[in-house]
Amino acid sequence: MAVVLPPSPTVVSNPPALPDTHSTFARLLLLIGACMLGFFAGLVGALLLIGVIWHVPFTALPGILSAQVFHPQQRAISLFAQAVTHLAGFTVAPLILLAFTLPTRPFGLWVRAQGRFPLTWLLGGVALTLVSLPLISAAIEWNAGWHFTGPLADFDAWMRDKEAVARRATELITQMDTPTDLVLCVLALALVPAVGEELVFRGITQPTLTRLAGGRLHVGIWLTAILFSAIHVQFLGFVPRMLLGAGFGYLYAWSGRLAVPIAAHFTNNALQVVLLYMSQHGKLPGFDPDATAALPWPWVVGSVLLTTVVMIGLKRWWHPAALLPFSGQEDSETQPPRAL
């Protein structure tokens, strides 16, 4: 008896990979330079705007931003500076770089194609993030237990000092007293990083490293995930952040749309902000936002199974994004996706 399979969902043709004609090393160097210039310009712009908005002397800003000098608007100032700097370094500067260093027509096709995607793709990315949370909690617990001794004792001390500094900075900007504070934190700590970091890491770095690896997709995804985690300089959270980065990488590779990993990244960050807000206002008794203990093992096992099922489903129904060198002849609206 013949078995009739259900029809595949409507497929929106994937755009070709970033239409890059530069060598991989040149692209990475250009990207690093652009991000550094963007961060510097963003910082200067943020400092000037802070002086205008909050009437803070320029010489007092370093102390306020480092929490060494008290200011009644310290939290708002720090959050504003972080958002503007991140936006300039990870979003504006890379987009300007691409606009000036990529072929005009192919880049225009790639940009326009990024705005065409089924809503189900976004929901799939969000679902993958949510079902993987217990699994990530197990990785957090394991990673938080890392200790280095002997020749690496100094590195261990440095690593823990960086964690403490990051924790203090986070506590400073995430004390949310009102719903308005919550909305601002979601925008600055979830939306802005999701857009910028996915553009830089999944949109530019991942296809570049995939080309460097001879088109081997998995190598490009995991190398990018390692860099994505390392750049946060929080090594007691290195493994879970790397796993998240790899998940975002596969979402982009399979969908060809940056909006999909952006949605997943935003969901992860926004959920943490919302849970923290609820905890601060007594809505989650017993919840410790700084806890590193894993969720109960049945949850973790279920998460492993569900994450596997969701990823297989996404891989089954989505077509891989084209990661072959761009020839200049493809049209994202007429060409079918190319298999890896």
Q: pLDDT digits over 272-308, tens only?
A: 999 999 999 989 887 888 888 999 999 999 999 999 9
Mean pLDDT of 227-254: 94
Higher pLDDT, 119 or 26: 26
Mean pLDDT of 251-279: 94
Q: Are 61 and 85 in contact (CB under 8 A)?
A: no
Given a cut of 80, whether residue 35 has pLDDT beyond it is yes
Q: pLDDT digits over 100-116, tens only?
A: 998 888 888 888 888 87
Banded model confidence at residue 22, pLDDT cuts 50, 70, 90: confident
Poorest-confidence range of 164-173, 234-243, 259-268?
Answer: 164-173
Higher pLDDT, 66 or 197: 197
Closest residue by Cα to residue 249 from 233, 271, 237, 265: 265
Given a cut of 50, whether residue 4 has pLDDT beyond it is no
Mean pLDDT of 322-327: 38
Mean pLDDT of 309-335: 57
Higher pLDDT, 318 or 246: 246
Could you tell me the two tokens for 232? 């946060």
Q: Percentage of the chain with pLDDT > 90? A: 57
Q: pLDDT digits over 144-156, tens only?
A: 998 888 898 898 8
Amino acid at 183: V
Banded model confidence at residue 319, pLDDT cuts 50, 70, 90: low
Per-residue DSSP letters for 205-244?
A: IHHHHHHHTTT-HHHHHHHHHHHHHHTTT-GGGHHHHHHH
Tell me, yes or no, if the pTM score tops 0.75: yes
Other Cβ atoms less than 10 A from the Cβ of 33: the count is 12
Q: How far apart are CA 150 and CA 169, in angstroms?
A: 30
Banded model confidence at residue 137, pLDDT cuts 50, 70, 90: very high
What average pLDDT does the chain have?
85
User: How confident is the model at residue 112, as a pLDDT?
Assistant: 85
Given a cut of 60, whether residue 237 has pLDDT beyond it is yes
Given a cut of 70, whether residue 321 has pLDDT beyond it is no
Q: Percentage of the chain with pLDDT > 70? A: 88
Answer positive or negative: Cα dihedral of 110, 111, 113, 118. positive
Mean pLDDT of 204-220: 93
Q: Angle 138-221-336 (CA atoms, 0-180°, nearest 5)?
A: 125
Given a cut of 80, whether residue 13 has pLDDT beyond it is no
Banded model confidence at residue 15, pLDDT cuts 50, 70, 90: low
Q: How far apart are CA 193 and CA 224, in angstroms?
A: 16
User: How confident is the model at residue 28, as a pLDDT?
Assistant: 95
Higher pLDDT, 232 or 305: 305
Given a cut of 70, whether residue 323 has pLDDT beyond it is no
Higher pLDDT, 215 or 332: 215
